[in-house]
Copies of this chain bind each other. A is one copy, B any other.
Amino acid sequence: MIIVLRPDSTEAQIAHVLDRIRELGFRPHLSQGEKRTIIGVIGEEDKLRAEPLSALPGVEQVLPILKPFKLASREFRRDETVVTVGGECGPPVKPVRIGGGSLALIAGPCAVESAEVLETIASHVKAAGANLLRGGAFKPRTSPYSFQGLGEAGLKILAEVGHRHGLPVVTEVMDPRQVDMVFRYADMFQIGARNMQNFDLLREVGQTRKPVLLKRGLSATVKDLLMSAEYILSEGNPNVVLCERGVRSFEDSTRNMLDLSAVPNVKGQSHLPIIVDPSHATGRPDLIPAMARAAIAAGADGVHVEVHSCPEKALSDGPQALLPAQYAALTRDLRRLAELMGKTM
């Protein structure tokens, strides 16, 4: 940590900063230049970071040197984490590996609407090569007047349909009080973008060992995303898969702005797998296939795509869903790309 002093800082102020650092158990290194005096404090930055050193009189800025996350970092674990989803609840479902060269192809409707509709969609996406089924039972909707999901009934349908097709299922959990219930049905928890910094919820899923798909918040930096993963890891659950799904921006022709550079950016700093959701990122079916291909070419560990057999009657986010035939065409492209990237689907 580097503490930069103001050009007008007094001797007494500098002495006070040095005392405070020593009081906290660290050894400061003072460098006095012509234009600025700086103090270096190397090592154990975690403890220092919590201290409001920039509030000390005479301090201009405090520059951290180390990254604020540990368990999520490449320095903590050099090898890529591979997260295994499903397979605990007996035969039909073969576990799916995410990371380390194995791609997750998560597909399904935005919301679980009925057993019939889901059955149709599941058979289509399974045939197209999807290996995980998604569907929301609890929906975070901007408006209190929108469809809010089927709740436990939706979870049941999801688990039954998915497992019948040999697909582990992933579904969103929004409230710490739902964690137990969702645990019983889902093979993987999804934490949505709006809850990326719902820290009580992160801790709650962190106390299980079930895989968690953690989506990037709408205005979260890559560092923020890794810090939220750190919450889950620090509770003892190592099975975290990150998901880039676009962030808020001034561009108004797409729903969000997909930040694909987050893929190599995360991979450089962390051992956790990261997948991409081009459906929520763009909100436009005409852009989804190109962005899914780009995600794989950028090195993502999978893609998460919304598919609906009848988007015009979907109860949630219909306009951004691909039709089954569009999804099948996309997976054909992805298969060739995966091969070229040395990955398996």
Contact = CB atoms under 8 A, between A and B. Distances in A.
Interface of A: 2, 4, 7, 20, 29, 31-36, 38, 40, 42-46, 49-50, 52-57, 63, 65-66, 68-69, 75, 140-147, 174-177, 194-195, 197-201, 203, 217-219, 221-224, 227, 230-231, 234, 247-254, 257-261, 263-265, 268, 281-282, 286-287, 290-291, 293-299, 311-315, 317-319, 321, 336-337, 340
26 contacts: A20-B312, A32-B42, A34-B43, A49-B146, A55-B312, A55-B319, A143-B227, A144-B199, A144-B203, A175-B176, A177-B177, A177-B200, A195-B198, A198-B198, A219-B219, A247-B249, A248-B248, A248-B250, A249-B257, A249-B259, A258-B261, A261-B282, A261-B287, A264-B290, A268-B287, A290-B298
Given A40-B40, A257-B259, A261-B282, 4 more contacts: A176-B177, A219-B219, A219-B250, A294-B298
B299 A290 contact: yes
Given A249-B250, A291-B298, A230 B40 contact: no
B250 A264 contact: no
Most buried by B among A143, A247, A254: A143
Copies in the complex: 4
Contacts of A293: 297-298
Given A35-B42, A35-B45, A251-B259, A143 B230 contact: yes
A66 B36 contact: yes
A258 B291 CA distance: 12
Nearest to A8: B75
Contact of A340 (B231, B248, B299, B340): B340
A201 B177 CA distance: 11
A-B interface, 4 closest residue pairs, ranked by CB to CB distance from nearest: A33-B42, A52-B318, A219-B219, A297-B297
B259 A287 contact: no
A142 B222 CA distance: 12
A253 B298 contact: no
Nearest to A33: B42
A65 B36 contact: yes
Contact of A38 (B2, B195, B260, B282): B2
A265 B261 contact: no
A146 B50 contact: yes
Nearest to A311: B55
A2 B63 CA distance: 10
Contacts of A174: 198-200
B264 A227 contact: no
A75 B252 contact: no
A65 B4 contact: yes
Contact of A281 (B7, B43, B45, B261): B261
A321 B260 CA distance: 20
Contacts of A231: 144
